[in-house]
Amino acid sequence: MFVAHFDIDAFYANVEIRDDPSLRGKPVAIAGLSRRAVVLTASYEARPFGVRSAMPLYKALDACPHLTVVRPDMAKYKAVSVEVFEIFEEAGYPVEGLSLDEAFIEFPEDDFEKAKEFAQRIRSRILERTQLTVSAGVATGKMVAKIASDSCKPNGLLSVPPGEEAAFLAPLPVGLLWGVGPKTQRRVTGLGVTTIGDVAKLDDRSLRELFGSWGPEVGELARGIDRRHVDSSRETKSISTEETFEYDVRDEEQLIACLREHAKELAERLEREACSACTVGIKIKRADFTTYGRQTSLAEPTRDARRIFRAAVHCLRRAELNGAPIRLLGTKVASLVSGEPLQQSLF
């Protein structure tokens, strides 16, 4: 068995460049137009200037004054994603979607050359149908395949032969190991463990001291041992939307109007996904950047915009903002169930 990881290069940006050839070769960022917007995706021409995803737009414009900013069109990106996933699923192999533009596919045959050919066919098929380039990694496990595809961007294919996983991983930074976050990376780096190869050399006792009870599993990943199969049963667990305001908002009525728009958008997305939500929650970011949330469970699953809106307003009032300045407001529906919602009681 082999695993292939596919990732569309600079997805949102490349969709916009495809649809507007005048953008080709220019530094492009996909972001809202408010002064507090953040970059969702940057084209590869923008990245040498330091423009990155999640960067505040004003910082991106400071770094690259000639940056072209395009407003996101999520409906278009979703439609392209559906087309790409249809290609992923054509062979009938297990597909595990990670996001709109990223997925694992499990290739069942124990033939490395055929697995590479399969990955290349998928890349060529996507390019032919969507005019978008895809980077891919092929390996015996999910983590190595993912790291391989990240390593060959943009528009590359990197395959790691069986038995060479540990050698491929050894010189890479320890932070690339799945489950090793920035805090853990800083801590272990301070102790002299800087590469994945350093982790691979440790015994189980040392691994537990560094990483806790799951240390031995980290050690196996560092040696390229990853027994997890592609999980094609993964389902969307939640759907969310949010808005960063151009200026801080204190007026509750303005916040409620924002929640109304959120509810309409989420109801439409639930309808497209053919599922209903049992939980509604909100996310609030104050002017001082403190972030917190409130959520409520519904008596019955719903995809009705009015019920989502009422639940979100209930959460907002529970937050007791008392006129505090708000820079961001988001709404989420979660605990999703498939199928039609239950018939609401008349009385």
> Mind giving me the DSSP string for 217-286?
HHHHHHTT---PPP-TT----EEEEEEEEEEEE--HHHHHHHHHHHHHHHHHHHHHHTEEEEEEEEEEEE
In DSSP notation, 3-49 reads EEEEEETTHHHHHHHHH-GGGTTS-EEE--SSTT-B-SEE-TTTGGG
The owner of tokens 């092929």 is 138
Asked, for residue 40, whether it belongs to a domain, the answer is: yes
- Tens digits of residue pLDDT in 156-185: 999 999 999 999 999 999 999 988 888 888
**Annotated catalytic, 102?**
yes
Tell me which residue of 149, 143, 204 sits closest to 175, measured CA to CA. Answer: 143
Asked, for residue 229, whether it belongs to a domain, the answer is: no
Does residue 27 sit in the same domain as residue 94?
no
Q: What is the pLDDT of residue 236?
A: 60
Asked, for residue 232, whether it belongs to a domain, the answer is: no
Query: In angstroms, rounded to a whole number, what is the distance separating the alpha carbons of residues 226 and 213?
Result: 17
Does residue 85 sit in the same domain as residue 151?
yes
- Choosing from 165, 186, 212, the residue where a domain stops is 165
The whole-number average pLDDT for the span 204-209 is: 92
- Choosing from 165, 190, 206, the residue where a domain stops is 165
The owner of tokens 């790291």 is 147
DSSP bridge pairs for 159: 138
In DSSP notation, 51-83 reads --TT-BHHHHHHH-TTPEEE---HHHHHHHHHH
Asked, for residue 228, whether it belongs to a domain, the answer is: no
Candidate list 16, 102, 106, 243, residue with the active-site label:
102
Asked, for residue 233, whether it belongs to a domain, the answer is: no
CATH number reported for the structural domain that contains residue 214 in this entry: 1.10.150.20
**What is the domain extent for residue 20?**
12-70
Tell me which residue of 33, 50, 2 sits closest to 226, measured CA to CA. Answer: 2
CATH number reported for the structural domain that contains residue 88 in this entry: 3.30.70.270
Tell me which residue of 203, 113, 119, 229 sits closest to 162, measured CA to CA. Answer: 113
Does residue 133 sit in the same domain as residue 60?
no
Confidence of residue 107 (pLDDT cuts 50, 70, 90): very high
Does residue 64 sit in the same domain as residue 83?
no
CA distances from 1 to 98, 109, 243 (A): 20, 5, 43
Assigned token pair, 188: 């272990």
Assigned token pair, 50: 């330091």
Asked, for residue 289, whether it belongs to a domain, the answer is: yes
Assigned token pair, 292: 């917190």
- Tens digits of residue pLDDT in 300-343: 899 999 999 999 999 999 998 989 999 999 999 988 887 555 44
The owner of tokens 């300045």 is 325
Query: In angstroms, rounded to a whole number, what is the distance separating the alpha carbons of residues 39 and 210?
Result: 35
Query: In angstroms, rounded to a whole number, what is the distance separating the alpha carbons of residues 3 and 77?
Result: 25
For the chain, what percent of residues have pLDDT higher than 70? 96
Indicate if the pLDDT at residue 68 is higher than 60. Answer: yes
Of residues 138 and 335, more confidence is placed in 138
- Judge if the upstream peptide bond of residue 154 is cis by omega within 30 degrees of 0: yes
Does residue 102 sit in the same domain as residue 132?
yes
- Tens digits of residue pLDDT in 333-342: 988 887 555 4
Confidence of residue 267 (pLDDT cuts 50, 70, 90): very high
Does residue 202 sit in the same domain as residue 244?
no
Does residue 98 sit in the same domain as residue 160?
yes
The angle that helices 112-130 and 74-89 make with each other, rounded to 10 degrees, is 140
C-beta atoms surrounding 248 within 10 Å: 13
Query: In angstroms, rounded to a whole number, what is the distance separating the alpha carbons of residues 294 and 305?
Result: 18
Instruction: Give the number of residues written for the chain.
Output: 347
Number of domains in the chain: 4
Asked, for residue 189, whether it belongs to a domain, the answer is: yes
Asked, for residue 102, whether it belongs to a domain, the answer is: yes
Helix (H, G, I), strand (E, B) or coil at 75: helix
DSSP bridge pairs for 292: 284
The single-letter DSSP state of residue 172 is S
